[in-house]
């Protein structure tokens, strides 16, 4: 984090008018930077997701909805570039970032609520969700198989 205040004295009104006091995040495409890459070259997110898929034997060809819980579109695009290589189709991506914004961890449940309310799933369709909490490097995810509505 940083701000753009200069090291020299500046009129406080000018500083305020120019927004130099606001905190900013030094943000590169975090998932493709060295900080978020693992030794085998994949992102931390991708490798965590891949481990979950392998451990739980999730059939990626049945993933109808892929909920990526990340705060910005360019990070989600980077994730989808990697996920296509293991068979998760780009059209499976489900996000409401443009309409709801990103509220952190509760977005997982908000997104699932949006899926249930607005999508028609067929028996056998999978909903897959995954997140890497980048400030603490924690990961979590779930996969649900839709059976049928009673």
- Asked whether residue 79 carries a pLDDT value surpassing 80, the answer given is yes
Three-class HEC string of 32-93: HCHHHECCCCCEHHHHHHHHHHHHHCCCHHHEEEEEECCCCHHHHHHHHHHHHHHCCCHHHE
Q: Where are the domains of the chain?
A: 30-145
> Per-residue pLDDT tens for 99-140?
877 777 788 888 899 998 999 999 999 999 998 876 666 888
> Per-residue pLDDT tens for 25-44?
554 444 444 445 555 667 88
CATH of domain 30-145: 3.40.47.10
Rounded to two decimals, the pTM is: 0.69
């Amino acid at each position: 984090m940083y701000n753009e205040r200069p090291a020299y004295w500046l009129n406080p009104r000018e500083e305020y008018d120019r927004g130099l006091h606001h905190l900013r995040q030094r943000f590169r495409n975090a998932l493709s930077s060295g900080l978020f890459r693992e030794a085998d070259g994949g992102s931390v997110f991708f490798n965590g997701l891949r481990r979950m898929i392998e451990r739980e034997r999730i059939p990626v060809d049945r993933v109808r909805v892929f909920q990526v819980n990340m705060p910005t579109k360019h990070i989600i695009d980077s994730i989808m570039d990697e996920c296509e290589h293991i068979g998760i189709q780009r059209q499976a991506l489900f996000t409401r970032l443009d309409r709801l914004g990103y509220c952190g961890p509760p977005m997982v449940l908000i997104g699932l609520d949006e899926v249930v309310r607005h999508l028609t799933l067929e028996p056998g369709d999978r909903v897959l969700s995954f997140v890497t909490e980048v400030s603490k490097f924690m990961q979590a995810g779930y996969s649900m198989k839709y059976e049928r509505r009673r």
